Amino acid sequence: MATTDRPASRRQLLRHLALPLYLPTVLTGAKSFANNPIIGSPLLNRLGLHPARMILAQGMAEVRRTPLAFSVSAEDRAAFRRDGFLVKENFLQAAHFEQLNDEVRRYRAPGWECHQGDTITHRLLLDEAALQQLPATRALIRDPAFRRPLSWAGAHAGAPVFYIQRIFNFATQGPPDPQRHLHTDTFHPTVKAWLFLDDVDERKGPFTYVPGSHRLTRARLHAQYRRSLEARKDPIRYSARGSLRWREQELKELGLPPPREFAVARNTLVIADTSGIHRRGEASEPGSRLEIWAFSRPSPFLPVTPPAIAPLTRLRDRALLTWMERQDARARRAGGLPSWRAVEPTRVDELA
């Protein structure tokens, strides 16, 4: 019997009995108010669990950043601390960029695809096997000028996960893409990076960020506290699951400026703390945005993270692929589709 068919009282009882099992998850990145009865607990949230986790996670991120700070310029650190993002135009030397752009556009491999509203996101994992075929991309991923600010900003000594990512705007039928709604990905510092291979303007839906919205100000902590009391019942599923959606009017109340759109030229690198308020901008027409995309989200309460050494990265990438393959197989067996589904190498040509 599916959970939703169980009588409400029985569901509640099960939820209570399972509570102790969820207790240790307060010290992990668990963020779903709806699915985790501790994270969503009305009592614990009234006592301030949610802002307490935010403050502690922020403190631990600072601890992890300390040994990584020497490798990043004081100017970059100051800009990131102020804004929550770094932007570097003409990031790669022109010849390197052209080689990378060329090899990435030609590269075909089994990939992954996610449908969110009317947008399709296509990803190719840049693991060791892929990078062997992509020398210019491998050089980027090994470049300290790329890795050091990513590590420091992401408060993570270990390697981020790297993908070739293509966002296909208006590629399928569906409601508006939920990533175009202002949101925070999670409650603790976490970094994403985009090296854009296309010029990005309003036609392609530029990444959009509210400068300074990564900072835990009093106003922000108050707002998070208030949201945490009701979030498990939030009608927006993403908010209930811990990626809170925000209204544009709320920015003023939070003492924040209007969002800034990153309408940028190709070969621009953007590194952003996506615990700040951001969204994917509206796209004015169907089309795609191609990028090298990095994602770094260490466990938020650890004082140190494992270093970026090849055997660990290999193991992590292998585990990630295995997990995704299992999710895919399990969902298909149940007659459905997983949120990330496996697709053929030729899929990217069908979408283009």
Ligand X SMILES: O=C(O)CCC(=O)C(=O)O
Residue 145: CB partners within 8 Å, gap ≥ 6?
none
Contact track, ligand X, 259-298, x by CB under 6 A: ---------------x---xxx------------------
Point out which residues pair with 252 in neighbouring strands. Answer: none
Asked if 185 interacts with Fe ion (CB under 5 A), we say yes
Q: What is the 3-state secondary structure (H, E, C) of 163-178?
A: EEEEEEECCCCCCCCH
- Shortest CB 184 distance to Fe ion, Å: 8
Q: DSSP assignment of 26-78, as one string? A: GGTT---TTT-TTTT-HHHHHTTHHHHHHHHHHHHHHHHHGGGGGGS-HHHHH
Q: Does 45 bind ligand X (CB under 6 A)?
A: no
Query: Smallest gap, in angstroms, from Cβ of residue 186 to Fe ion?
Result: 9
273 lies in the site for Fe ion, by CB under 5 A = no
Q: Does 204 bind ligand X (CB under 6 A)?
A: no
What, of Fe ion, ligand X, none, does residue 207 touch, CB below 5 to 8 Å by kind? Answer: ligand X
Contacts with Fe ion by CB under 5 A: the residue count is 2
For ligand X, the binding residue among 127, 185, 198, 317 (CB under 6 A) is: 185
Which tokens go with 13? 């009882």
245 binds ligand X (CB under 6 A): no
67 phi and psi angles, rounded to 5 deg: -70, -10
* Residues 127-166 as x/- pattern, contact with ligand X by CB under 6 A: ----------------------------------------
Among 187, 196, 207, 246, binds ligand X (CB under 6 A): 207
Q: What secondary structure, in 3-state letters, does 85-145 show?
A: EEEECCCCCHHHHHHHHHHHHHCCCCEEEEEECCEEEEEEECCHHHHHCCHHHHHHHHCHH
By a kind-dependent CB cut-off of 5 to 8 A, residue 192 interacts, out of Fe ion, ligand X, none, with: ligand X
Q: Find, among 250, 154, 186, the residue nearest to 54 by Cα.
A: 186
Q: Which of 156, 188, 192, 232 binds ligand X (CB under 6 A)?
A: 192
Token pair, residue 28, equals 């992990």
Q: Residues in the site for ligand X, rule: CB under 6 A?
A: 167, 179, 185, 192, 207, 274, 278-280
